[in-house]
Amino acid sequence: MITGTGLTKVYGTKRAVDDVDFTVEAGELFVLMGLSGSGKSTLLRMINRLVEPTSGTVTIDGVDLAGLGAAELRELRNRRVNMVFQHFALFPHRTVRQNAAYGLEVRRVPLAERLDRADRALERVGLGDRGDARPQELSGGQRQRVGLARALATDPDVLLMDEPFSALDPLIRRDMQDLLLDLQADRPRTIVFVTHDLNEAMRIGSRIMVLKDGRVQQCGTGPEILAAPANDYVGEFVADVDRARVLTASAVMRPAPSTAVLSTAPADVLGSDVFVLDADDKLLGLVGSADVAAALDAGEPDLSARVADGYHVVPPDRPLVEFAHLAVSAPLVVVDDGRLVGVVSDRDLLTALGGVRA
Ligand SMILES: Nc1ncnc2c1ncn2[C@@H]1O[C@H](COP(=O)(O)OP(=O)(O)O)[C@@H](O)[C@H]1O
Ligand SMILES: [Mg+2]
């Protein structure tokens, strides 16, 4: 949906953004992450040409922004690409509803319609009952919600968010992250979200692009970056991340060492635990190595009498924090839609949680 190619912005002798390439898919929450001064805001603002690139191109839905005239650009910013900032400028003498309707007012949407859309947007951010309040009657977190409602009310194709939660207390910040994730689950929008907080990036980003001195260090999903930092800089950055919350079963699992079908002869799989699958790869159960040996001793022709369920089933997207403790009582088996996709060993867990490089 959005592409940047060779994007560069030079201020004097400073390359604020230096030859950056990226692609943002429709419906993705794409995070630009880096320390202060790494070029995040400059890059974000080149996406709607609030900052004019020194070189390189941006396209939205295949249209090169460089080719847009002033009127088309205004149209783009008004209707398609909305920006949300760290500090929303709410009008103090207007009600919350009027503030939420502001983006529609700019577009000359009729009054009744814009108030109605503002109310619905306020509803979605949990402020349905505060429409008549004034901004100063709201907490900081609620004011950020009004700003988000203002952006949502215009129903943009793309949201550009520049550290929208950075000024909030940690707990309220988490609420806002949850709200954003809920809104995305409900109706995915294409969002480019800037943060200097890697935990925030990992928590909400479908993919994260790590910037340093205007250059891309790495781009990938949170678990990909955690599992394989591209360089020492990214490695140091991710050292402090709350791995148990970021890493999911699929990020730490490995293929099941040994699988079989019900008709497999015990002699063929002697010596290991065996996962028994049906013809569609659905997991039927586990035969422990001792049971394989017992079946062989008893002269059983196959494994069918020995299939048991002494394991924990974990879905691929479950974070470690929610299942790691189960590993002490039984093996962890990652199952997606009935299919065995992998296993998680104690060693895999320790390696992942300890941040030990494989
Ligand atoms: N308008 C400007 N004029 C001169 N230098 C700028 C301007 N905007 C940003 N810079 C410089 O470009 C670099 C990147 O800034 P910025 O994109 O704001 O980074 P971030 O958002 O990651 O903190 C910084 O060194 C900053 O000082
Ligand atoms: Mg910035």
pLDDT digit string, tens, across residues 33-76? 999 999 999 999 999 999 999 999 999 999 999 999 999 998 88
If you average pLDDT over residues 121-134, what whole number do you get? 94
Domain check: are 328 and 207 in the same one?
Answer: no
Instruction: Return the pLDDT at 227.
Output: 81
C-beta of 14 in contact with ligand 1 (< 6 A): yes
Q: How far is the CA of 46 from the centre of ligand 2 (A)?
A: 13
Q: Is residue 358 very low, low, confident or very high in pLDDT (cuts 50, 70, 90)?
A: very low
Instruction: Return the pLDDT at 49.
Output: 93
State the residue range of the domain holding 228. 2-91+157-241
Residue in the block written with tokens 């910040």: 173
**Single residue among 217, 241, 265 that ends a domain in this structure:** 241
Q: Is residue 355 very low, low, confident or very high in pLDDT (cuts 50, 70, 90)?
A: low
Q: Ligand 1 atom 3: the closest Cα is on which residue?
A: 11
Domain check: are 230 and 254 in the same one?
Answer: no
**79-117, pLDDT tens digit by residue?**
888 888 777 788 999 999 999 999 898 888 999 999 999
CA gyration radius, the chain: 26
Q: Considering only 75-79, 286-290, 307-311, which range has the smallest mean pLDDT?
A: 75-79
Q: Is the dihedral of CA 190, 194, 199, 200 positive or negative?
A: negative
What whole-number distance in Å separates Cα of residue 181 and Cα of residue 352?
25
Q: Is the pLDDT of residue 244 over 60?
A: yes
Assess contact for 121 and 155: CB atoms under 8 A.
no
Return phi, psi of residue 20, to 5°: -100, 130
C-beta of 35 in contact with ligand 1 (< 6 A): no
What whole-number distance in Å separates Cα of residue 32 and Cα of residue 324?
30
**Single residue among 213, 241, 269 that ends a domain in this structure:** 241
Q: Is residue 356 very low, low, confident or very high in pLDDT (cuts 50, 70, 90)?
A: low
C-beta of 103 in contact with ligand 1 (< 6 A): no
Q: Is residue 211 very low, low, confident or very high in pLDDT (cuts 50, 70, 90)?
A: very high
**Single residue among 241, 272, 305 that ends a domain in this structure:** 241
Tokens of 325: 């403790």
Q: How far is the CA of 197 from the centre of ligand 2 (A)?
A: 12
Domain check: are 212 and 82 in the same one?
Answer: yes
More confident residue, 247 or 132: 132
SS3 string, 174-223, reads HHHHHHHHHHHHHCCCEEEEEECCHHHHHHHCCEEEEEECCEEEEEECHH
Instruction: Return the pLDDT at 68.
Output: 92
Domain check: are 229 and 267 in the same one?
Answer: no
User: Which candidate, 166, 164, 91, 77, places its Cα nearest to that of 133?
Assistant: 91
Strands (E), the chain: 2-11, 14-24, 29-33, 55-60, 63-64, 81-84, 158-162, 190-195, 207-212, 215-220, 259-260, 274-277, 283-287, 312-314, 332-336, 339-344
C-beta of 13 in contact with ligand 1 (< 6 A): no
169: Cβ–Cβ under 8 A, 6 or more apart, which residues? 140, 141
Maximum distance among all alpha carbons in the chain? Answer: 86
When divided into structural domains, the chain yields a total of: 2
